[in-house]
Each structure stands twice: as structure tokens, then as C-alpha cells.
Structure 1
Amino acid sequence: MVLLLVKRIGFMIFTMIVVSIILFLLLETGLTGDPATRVLGNFATAEQKELWRDQQGYNQPVIVRYAKWLGNFATGELGTSIRYKGPVKEVLLPRLWNTAILGFWTFAIMIPLSLVLGVLSGMKEGSLLDRTISVFGILTTSVPEFASAVFFSALFVFGLKWLPGTSSMASGFEFKQLLLPAMVLVVYDFGYVARMTRASMAEVMTSQYVRSAVLKGLPYRQVIIRHALRNALIAPFTVIMLQINWLLSGVIVVEFFFAYKGFGALLLEASLNNDIALLEACAMIAVVVAVGSQTLADIGYTFLNPRIRFT
């Protein structure tokens, strides 16, 4: 167990370093265009660009600049945002918190609902309940977020007038403002997790050890909870952990549509405004969360599948 944890942490650090090198080369060395031109614009003079490069340290060797850049990120010095005219940290942290709130409520609703319906569907493969849940899951997953956002807005904002049309969270936490964005995310992601749970549960129910437990006369509820469910959760657990990355940076459409001040919308703003420091910070945070969630998933496997602890 300890050896597995050490290997995963080492792989996580190695992956983050490799990604940081690629990110630095793309945004800081001119491989994708002159950084001074991206920041100052095409109408800046050569003297202005050269002065900016000198002030930002771009005339130093690449290795020295990368070491300083990585050290600043490790110590929390993320630079200054040209879009917001202030430290990147002060802009980034509130946006991360807003996305964390949205992600928490999305997971709190979606995970139990998906697992319960997926397990029920897999237990009775081919039944009317199974077909109903499968069709509903496929239908919701096939509808993109922007389409369901438009539909829910037309229904709950303009039709019934129950919910606000925007979710800026400007005045602090308001659950009413979270309902529409969370609803769109739950509806879109519910079917995917439920279908994965259903497929895994259906496979486990046809395994030999489940049949043996049933033939031995064990109560059906005990067979499901103690023998089938634990093994059936391995595949859905992987999918659930991957959804953390999706919620962090893949909800750009939902956050932009509802004017939600989250991490995804901030990433879009940084890209549109050529805000290099902010874009680098957002990209590195996304990498840290992606690699960290995968490490947590690997650790979680050891509790769901004891054989991994001894391999």
C-alpha cells in the first residue's frame, strides 16, 4: 500500500513537471507567437515590445526563466493579471471557490441518483425498469449543455418565473442562483454515470461468485450489498473521479451561459484577453486537480479491490 502510494505520488509530480515544461514552452518562449505582441497588441512599437520583454525577464536564458516561473508557482506567486489589473491569486481563488460550490451540489445530487438508478437497472437487466432508466440516461446525455440550459431557462425563468436567469453570485452564496447551473450539469452527466454503473452491475450479477452466493441460500439483499455492489462500484468510481476534472474546466458553456463567476468562465476570459499569467495559472491548477484526482482514484481502488494492495 505504501509502495503504491509512493509510486503514484512520484508519477503525479513527474506528470506535473512535464506539463509545466510544455505549458512554459508554448506560452513563454514564442513558439505560438511573440508574448509581447499578445500582451501589448499588434500596434505596439518594437521599442515598447523590447522594453516589456526586458521588464518581464524575457531576455534571460530559458532555463533560468523556467526555474523562476516554476518556483513562483510553487510558492503561490502567480503573477499579475493584465485583464483584472491585479494579482492573479486574488482573482483565481474566489473563482475556484465558486466552482467548488457548484461542483459540490452537482455531485451531491448526481452521484447518489446515478448510483442508485444504475444499480437498480443492472440488477434487473432487460426489465422495464432497466429499459426506462437506460433510455432516459441516453436521452439526457445526448442533449448538450447549452441546449438544456436554454430549455430550463425558458421553462423556469421566462415561463414559470421561479428562478433567476443569471447566477453571478455577486452578493454571496445564494442557493437559488445555483439551481439552474447545477440542474443542467446533473441532467447532462447523470446518464453517463448511471449507464456505467448499470453495465458494471449487470456484469457482476452474472459472475460465478454471485451465483454461488445465491445458490448457498444467502439473503438476496446481503448478496447485493456485501458481494456484488463493492465490485460493481470500481468502474463507476473511475468515471466519478474523472468528472472532477470536467467540473473544474469543462463547464465553460454552463458558467458563461448563466454568467456564473467560476473557474471555467475565468479560463475563457483569460484565453480571449491574452492574459498569459492568468492563463498559465488556470492551466496549472487544472493539471494539479486532474493528476491529484487520478491519484485519489488509484488509492480508492485499494479499498474497493483488496487484491491491488498486495500487487
Structure 2
Amino acid sequence: MVKLIGRRLIQMVLIILVASLLLFAIFDTPEFKRRLAVQELGGFAVSALSQDAYNEWLARRGLDVPFYQRYFNWIGKIVQGDFGFSYEKNRPVGPLLADRLANTGILALCVFALMIPISLTLGVLSGMREGSGLDRSITFLSVFTTSIPEIATAIILTVVFALGLGLLPAKSAMIAGFDPWQLVLPVLTLVIYDFGYVARMTRASMAEVMTSQYIRTAILKGIPYRRVVMKHALRNALIAPFTVIVLQMNWLLSGVVVVEVFFEYDGFGKLLLEAALFPDVEVVQACTLVAVVVAVTSQIISDVGYTFLNPRIRFS
């Protein structure tokens, strides 16, 4: 287990280094340097600058040194928590990114708190009664909700519960401070869209386990059916859904752009879209690097958790 975690951590560092190098190379072009100059000095000032003055600005920003030196300088600043400056928001990128990640983390925590129990319960019930009316109903509901785009679900919920019934606020800007009621519609939108996918994976895994030989043997031995399901079938059936659930961290981090923008929720996805439209180069760099780190970290968590659930992997 220790060797596995060590190998995964080494792979994680290597992947992040390669991704950061590619990311830096993409943004380390004359065009993006010119954009940084425009954002810092203003468009008119840049157009009026002579080449010597522009070169002086490059030297002041440390952008006139060789590529490898610029890259290591950039990495060194990131390790120290310096992600640059957002000229759109007029504040350092580090605190801005931390605030938006915290907001998205709150949203993701609420989504997971609802989605995991609902999807696992429905998936297990469906897999235990494969081919029954309950199974067909849960399968239809899962496919139906997953096939509806997030934006359509958000519009329907807003029209019904905010504009129609007036029970919930239509926006989640949190202008007057943290308000749990403003999280209801964004959370419901994400849960409705995503729970069906996890439920179908759980249903398929549970159905496969229930038809295995050791489950049939346990039932024929007279072991109570509930004990067979809870002690023998459920743990093995949760292996595949666990991997899927952990990997949903990537989707919640970068895939909530539509929901956050629609409900005006100041999270990571909304920040990334605003930075791309501005364009706020250093914010886009920071957001992309954070997304890579989260993706690699979630993969490691998935691998380690998989070995705990599956002893054959742990002792092989």
C-alpha cells in the first residue's frame, strides 16, 4: 500500500510538472505578453510605447530572460502562493482564487451530501430487483434526468420554484452574505443532472454482484437475505461507483460553469469564464493549473480507495 501511494504521488508530481510546462509554454508567447502589457499599462499607453520602453517593461516583469528561467521563476512564485494579479478584479489572483474555490467547495459539498445517498440507494434497490417494475422505473428516471442539459434543468426549476411559486430566490449571488436558501436551486440542478449517472453505475455493479456464485452459495446456505446483501454484496458492488463518485470532483470543479453563471454564483467556474472572456491571462493560468491538480489528486484518491475496497488489488 505504501509503495502504491508512493508511486502515485511520484506520478502526480510528474504529471503536474508536465502540465505546468505545457501551460506556461502556451501563454509564454509575444501575443500574451502584449496582452499583459495592455492590462497593466492600458491599451493607449502600450500603443504609444516605443520598442525600447516595451523592452524595459519586459525586463521589469522578468520576461526578457530565457524560457527555462522564466518557467522556474513562475513555478517558484506559485509555490510561494503568488499566482499573479487579476487586472479585471483588481486584486491578487491567490486570494481571489481561494475565495472562489471555497464557494465552489460549499456547493460541491451540498451536492455530494444529497447525490451520494440518493444515487447509491436507488442504484442498490434497482440492482437487487433486476428486471422488476422498480428497476425499470429507477432506470427510466436516471436516464431521463441525465439526458436533460443542466441549463434546461436550471431554467425549469427557476420558473417553477422562483418565478411561479416564489418559494426560492432566483439568483445565488450571496450579495447580503451567506444565505443557504440561495444554494437550493443550484444544488438541485446539479443533483438532478448527475445522480442518474451514479445510480446507473451502482445498479449495473449491484446486479452483477447479485448474480455471482458466492452470493448464490450464501443464500443457499440459509444466511438471511439482508445479511447477504449488506455484508457480502454491498461492499463489492460499491467498487465501481466509488471510482465514479470520486471522479465527479473534476466535473464539479470545472463543469459547473453553466450553473454558476446562470445563478450568478461566485464560484470557480464563473471566475474561469470571466477570466477567459476578459481575457485575464494570469487568472486563466492559475485556474487551469488548479483544475489539473484537482484532476490528478482525485485520480490518486480513486486508486487508493479502490485498493481498500478490492483486496485482490491490495495483495497482488
**TM-score, length-scaled by structure 1:** 0.96
Give the AA of the match of 1:13. V
Matched, 1:151 2:149: no
Q: Cα deviations across residues 2-25 of structure 1 (Å, max 9, x unaligned)? A: 101101111111111110011001
Question: Where do 4+ consecutive residues of structure 1 move more than 4 Å?
Answer: none
Structure 2 counterpart of 1:166: 171
2:281 match: 276
Is 1:58 the counterpart of 2:56 in the alignment? Answer: no
Shift of residue 276, structure 1, vs aligned partner: 1.3
**Quick one: structure 1 residues 34 and 104, their matched pair in 2 at CA, closer, same or farther if it must change by over 3 Å?**
closer
Deviation string, structure 1 residues 106-144 (Cα, Å, up to 9, x no partner): 000011000000000000000000000000000000000
Query: Corresponding residue for 2:35?
Result: 37
Query: Take 1:39 and 1:215, find their aligned partners in 2: how far apart are those partners?
Result: 76
Task: Say yes or no: does 1:185 pair with 2:190.
Answer: yes
Cα pair 2:32 2:281 within 8 Å, conserved:
no
SS of the residue aligned with 1:166? coil
Deviation (angstroms), 1:40: 1.4
Check conservation: 2:126, 2:138, Cα contact below 8 A.
yes
Q: Which residue of 1 aligns with 2:210?
A: 205
SS at match of 2:166: coil
Q: Do the aligned partners of 1:12 and 1:291 also contact (CA within 8 Å) in 2? A: yes
Which runs of 5 or more residues in structure 2 are unaligned?
A: none
Residue 23 of structure 2 aligns to a residue whose secondary structure is helix
1:296 aligns with 2:283: no
| Alpha-carbon distance between aligned partners in 2 of 1:91 and 1:259, rounded to the nearest angstrom | 16
Partner of 1:89: 94
User: What letter is aligned with 2:69?
Assistant: V
For the 8 Å contact 1:117–1:194, the answer to whether it is kept is yes
What residue number does 1:26 align with? 26
Tell me what 1:6 maps to.
6
**Which whole-Å CA distance do the structure 1 matches of 2:38 and 2:100 have between them?**
26
Tell me if the contact between 1:36 and 1:49 (Cα under 8 Å) persists in the aligned partners. Answer: no
Instruction: Give the CA deviation at 1:172.
Output: 2.6
How far does the alpha carbon of each residue in 1:52-71 deviate from its partner, in whole angstroms, 9 at most, with x for none?
43332221100001001111
CA distance in 2, matches of 1:217, 1:52: 81
Pick one of 113, 120, 127 that aligns with 1:122.
127
Quote the residue 2:17 is aligned against. Answer: 17
Mean CA deviation greater in 127-136 or 90-99: 90-99
Q: How many Å separate the matches in 2 of 1:52 and 1:137? A: 56
Q: What is the percent sequence identity of the aligned residues?
A: 53
In structure 2, relative to structure 1, the CA distance for the partners of 1:39 and 1:141 (3 Å cut) is: farther
What is the Cα-based RMSD across aligned positions, in Å?
A: 1.5
Relative to the length of structure 2, the TM-score reads: 0.94
The equivalences for 1:174-253 within 5 A come to 174-253=179-258
Unaligned residue ranges in structure 1 (runs of 5+): none
State the AA in 2 paired with 1:206: T
Deviation at 1:170, TM superposition (A): 2.5
1:81-102 residue CA offsets vs partner (Å, 9 max, x unmatched): 1111111112111111110000
The 2-side partners of 1:39 and 1:233 are apart by 52
Change (3 A) 1:49 1:111: farther
- Alpha-carbon deviation of 1:39? 5.4
Matches within 5 A, 1:69-84: 69-84=74-89
Any idea what the Cα deviations from partners look like across 1:161-185, whole Å, max 9, x if unmatched? 0111110123332110000000000
Preserved contact between residue 83 and residue 94 of structure 2 (Cα < 8 Å)? yes
In structure 2, the CA distance between the partners of 1:232 and 1:143, relative to structure 1 (3 Å rule), is same
